[in-house]
Structures are given as structure tokens and as C-alpha cells.
Amino acid sequence: MALTTSLNTFLARIGARQAPTQPNPDYFPYLELKGPAPGPHIFITAGIHGDEAAGIITVHELLKLLETTPLLSGKLSIIPCCNPQALAARTRHHPTSKQDLNRLFPGSKKATHALLLAHAIYRKVEKARPDLLIDIHNDWYNSVPYAIINEESDYKSPLTYKKSLHMAQLLNLPVVSEDLTQPHHAGLEKSLSGYASLQGGIPALTLEAGGSPIVSEYDVEIAVQILTNLLQKLGMVGPQPAFSSTVPKAYLGQVLEYASCPPPKVAGIIRYRALAGQLVEAGQTLAEIFSPSGELLQTITTQQKALVLGHADEPYVTPKTDIYALALPPSSK
């Protein structure tokens, strides 16, 4: 059924409660679903970055599925689209202040729209105090789904780390640990899942659920499976089609260290020689860069054995382009 045509009617039918629409720029939809028996409380958010619409569609599809597979226990709190203005502007950042909403939590009652929005979202999460917060994001088009948590030493509460890790491992995905000292991860202590879990004591993870440039039907289907498989493991829904990752089994449920790939030394047309989900050995070719006349300008190789989480969407790169996301195997930690 078309969720978009009649969201409120649909939500009413599956017993969800939606906040009334408010005519202000900080409005975001919020809904709650309750099973008949007590159980875990899961809070799901999507669309913090306006150019990641697939996560929002994933939530819509999850809601549709819950119409025929009702919640058996527990509670779901959901913000399907955290940043409607950025979505409409088709930008990662909030369109008025140009701030990245996912570096602003817990927000503020003053100043920019983005800070106010972060404040309003975080208040919902804080008030709910769920057993798990899952913040859905989308990565490059060519990427495998993975979960992100933080380094154990960055958590105020060791128990919150334990719970976050346990939930991340239940997803049966690679679990990438964010090292906040790396320039690549600067400011992520103020991401929604970062702040909630590190400072707020709320178990949380970021789910990178496939590509962002378009809504990939394949990625949406996989992301829904990942979520429903988790709900099944928590006893919140009945049996679900099993999700199986394309990543080698030894990497699933394992905490992996994020590794960046050396940036290109030249500008040119890139041919990606290693694909998402693939294991690469030290010295293996990751990519080749060519001039418009066909001359091979650079071959980029890996420095160590790694799992390819994804590669960039750009066909033409410069020395500033981030081209690969890699994760180091558990044994190298």
C-alpha cells in the first residue's frame, strides 16, 4: 500500500501514534508502536542527512511490514525523517545554517535551526530512554551495510558500551569502531548515536545501510531484513526471512578498526578494482587512475589486509577525493 498518500490513516491502522503536524521549521514526524506484551524498547531514526533518503524509505517499509507482522512485544519509537528541510533541499547539511545535524547533538535551545532541531530530536530520545537507539544512515552506493559504535574507552559508562556492542553484534554485520582521535571521525562524539551512548548512557549504534545517491530497492530490502531480524532475535516479532551478509563470515559481529585508503596523488578517471564486501590483501590493487587520453597515472594499492566497506561514487577523482572505506581484520587490532 502507498504509505506516502495517507501516512496518518496508515499509522492509525497499525496502532501507531503520530505527533500532530506543527507548522514550524523544526517539525519532524514521530510515532510510537507498542506490542501487547512487555519487551525491549527500540528507537529508530533516519534521514538526519538530507541526501540519504533510502533510510527514510527503509523505515516506511518496516512500518508496512509491521502491518502484517505485528509487534508481539516491546515498543518502537520512530522518527522516520529527522531533517525534512535538508531532504527537501537535497543536501547533507541543514539548508539554512549549513551545519551537519549529525555533529550537533545534544543541540541547543538557542541559535540555529539545526541546533534547535538536534535539541528537539535528542529530547525525544532522552525522554524515551530506549534499550537501543538505531540511527540509520546511507553510505556510498557501492557499500556493504555495517554497524558503527565507539571505542570502549570513550564511553562514560562501561555498561552502555557492553549493551551497544551486544546489540550491534546481534545485527550480524561488520561492527566498525569509531576512533574519535582520527581526523576522519572528528566531531562524531556529537553524532546522535555518539552523544546518546557516550554521554547519555543510552545504548546506540549507527547503521550504515547501503547507498545514498538514489533509493536502492535492493539496499532497502536488505536494511528491512537487518532490522526485522534484530526484532525477531529480541522476541519482538515472529519468524522473518533470514538476512545473510555478503561479507565473509569471520568479519560478521566482529569489532573492526576503520582504515582509510591513501588519497589519489593525481586527478583523473578512476576504475575501482575492489568491490564492497571484498577482502583485499596487502599490496593488492584497489584502484587505477587514468588520464582522459588513456594513460595510467596511478595505481592505488592497500597497505594491509582489509575488508572493503565501500568505494566512492565519483568516476573522476582528485587528490582530495575520499575513495575507499576499509576495515581492518580482527587479528590486526
| Rounded CA separation 212/147 (Å) | 16
Q: How far is the CB of 209 from Zn ion (least distance, A)?
A: 10
Nearer to Zn ion, 52 or 154 (CB): 52
Element (H, E) at 317: strand 316-317
Q: How far is the CB of 147 from Zn ion (least distance, A)?
A: 14
Q: At what angle do helices 158-170 and 217-233 cross, to 10 degrees?
A: 120
The sign of the torsion formed by the CA atoms of 119, 58, 51, 265 equals positive
Residues 6+ apart with CB under 8 A from 203: 130, 131, 132, 133, 160, 163, 164, 166, 167, 197
Q: How far is the CB of 99 from Zn ion (least distance, A)?
A: 14
Q: How far is the CB of 103 from Zn ion (least distance, A)?
A: 11
Amino acid (one-letter) located at 145: P
Nearer to Zn ion, 52 or 219 (CB): 52
Q: How far is the CB of 305 from Zn ion (least distance, A)?
A: 28
Kindly indicate which of the ranges 135-143, 147-155, 229-237, 280-288 contains the residues binding Zn ion, using the contact rule CB under 5 A.
135-143
Q: How far is the CB of 49 from Zn ion (least distance, A)?
A: 4
Strand order through the sheet with 285-290: 296-301, 285-290, 268-272, 316-317
Per-residue binding letters, 35-74, with Zn ion (x by CB under 5 A): --------------x--x----------------------
| Rounded CA separation 264/285 (Å) | 13
Nearer to Zn ion, 92 or 305 (CB): 92
Q: Are 277 and 327 in contact (CB under 8 A)?
A: no
Q: How far is the CB of 237 from Zn ion (least distance, A)?
A: 26
Nearer to Zn ion, 93 or 137 (CB): 137
Q: Check residue 94 for interaction with Zn ion (CB under 5 A).
A: no
Taking CB atoms, the residue at the shortest distance from Zn ion is 137
Nearer to Zn ion, 65 or 192 (CB): 192
Nearer to Zn ion, 149 or 237 (CB): 149
Q: Check residue 137 for interaction with Zn ion (CB under 5 A).
A: yes
Q: At what angle do helices 53-68 and 217-233 cross, to 10 degrees?
A: 50
Grid cell, residue 290, equals 587514468
Nearer to Zn ion, 206 or 228 (CB): 206
For residue 271, the cross-strand partners are 288
Kindly list the residues in this chain that would bind Zn ion in the complex (CB under 5 A).
Answer: 49, 52, 137
